[in-house]
Amino acid sequence: MFAMNQPIKQSPVTLKLIITNVVVFVFALIYRGLIKDHEWNTPIEHFIGFSSRFEQVIQYPWTVISAVFFHVRLEHLIYNLLFLFFAGSLFEQLFSGRKLLMLYLFAGIFGNLTQLLAAVIAPDIFPIGPVFGASGAIMGIFIAIAVYRPQLPVLIFGMFSLPIYALALFFLIIDLIGIGGNGGTAHMAHLGGSLIGALTMIRKKGNIGIWNHIPWFSGHGKDVLRNSKTRFKTDEEYNAIKHDAEARTDAILDKISRSGYESLSREEKEFLFKQGKE
């Protein structure tokens, strides 16, 4: 079971992402204080935040990346960083920090572009406006975990647990319901990031997807998945693996008692040898 009390020192990239978001937020506060009385007081949102206005994207193309680290409101920053701590720490334990960083960037960028495309195609449904924050990137990370390990129990407020797929569905439904609303939330950015997260895990499970030529997520690069001895496992998974191994060992021993050791296949002999070493 995963709870939100995992040591942050075990998730260094998650910590660096959190620090980067905080530093950008503080920089924005200082910038606003310095330029408020100047004649060149161009809002920082114009050259750090992303916009679903196509002309502004052409003028400030780097904002498709910078916006995933930029928050305007303190409450938005706090909420996103709590969510990033939870999802990022878990993802980093399951896979690696490098893949966490790549997914954060890919999901955030694709989420921003999805919001832009929606505003261009249907401006009446998706009003043109600014897109700030790491929400799309974090949704990508969270949905990736939910697709990869849907039954993973998550402890909520230290009181009760839910399978992670149920939380993922809850967040996705909120975004789908919110499409076209006036709440100022970039729901399409969330959904775009979620799509990237899901596609990365589909690639790992079924040899299909969008990552065939990206070493960090394809099967052709090093460190695609952490060694099974160092990967995070829930108590339920550990007990299930142990139970299955014991049951198979008993079945092999029964086979030996009936037909002798030589009746075992090569794979059964290797399995029995490995079990004897543990």
In this prediction, residue 179 has a pLDDT band, given cuts at 50, 70 and 90, of confident
Q: What mean pLDDT is reported for the chain?
A: 78
Is this model's pTM higher than 0.75 or not? no
Question: Mean pLDDT lowest for which of 140-154, 203-217, 220-234, 236-250?
Answer: 220-234
Q: What percent of the chain has pLDDT over 70?
A: 77
Q: Look at residue 13 and tell me whether its pLDDT is greater than 80.
A: yes
So what's the pLDDT on residue 224? 39
* Cα dihedral sign, 238-82-8-200: positive
So what's the pLDDT on residue 160? 77
Nearest Cα residue to 88 out of 73, 75, 99, 72: 99
Q: Where are the domains of the chain?
A: 8-206, 235-277
Per-residue pLDDT reduced to its tens digit, 128-172: 778 888 999 999 999 999 998 888 887 777 777 888 899 999 999
User: How much helix, strand and coil, in percent to the nearest 5, is found in the chain?
Assistant: 65, 5, 30
In this prediction, residue 190 has a pLDDT band, given cuts at 50, 70 and 90, of very high
CATH of domain 8-206: 1.20.1540.10
CA distance between the termini of the chain: 24
Q: Name 163's Cβ contacts closer than 8 Å, sequence gap at least 6.
A: 150, 151, 152, 153, 154
So what's the pLDDT on residue 227? 42
So what's the pLDDT on residue 143? 94
- Please indicate whether residue 3 or residue 195 has the higher confidence score (pLDDT): 195
The token duo for 240 is: 């299930």
Q: What percent of the chain has pLDDT over 90?
A: 27
- Mean predicted confidence (pLDDT) in 41-57: 77
- Mean predicted confidence (pLDDT) in 107-123: 90
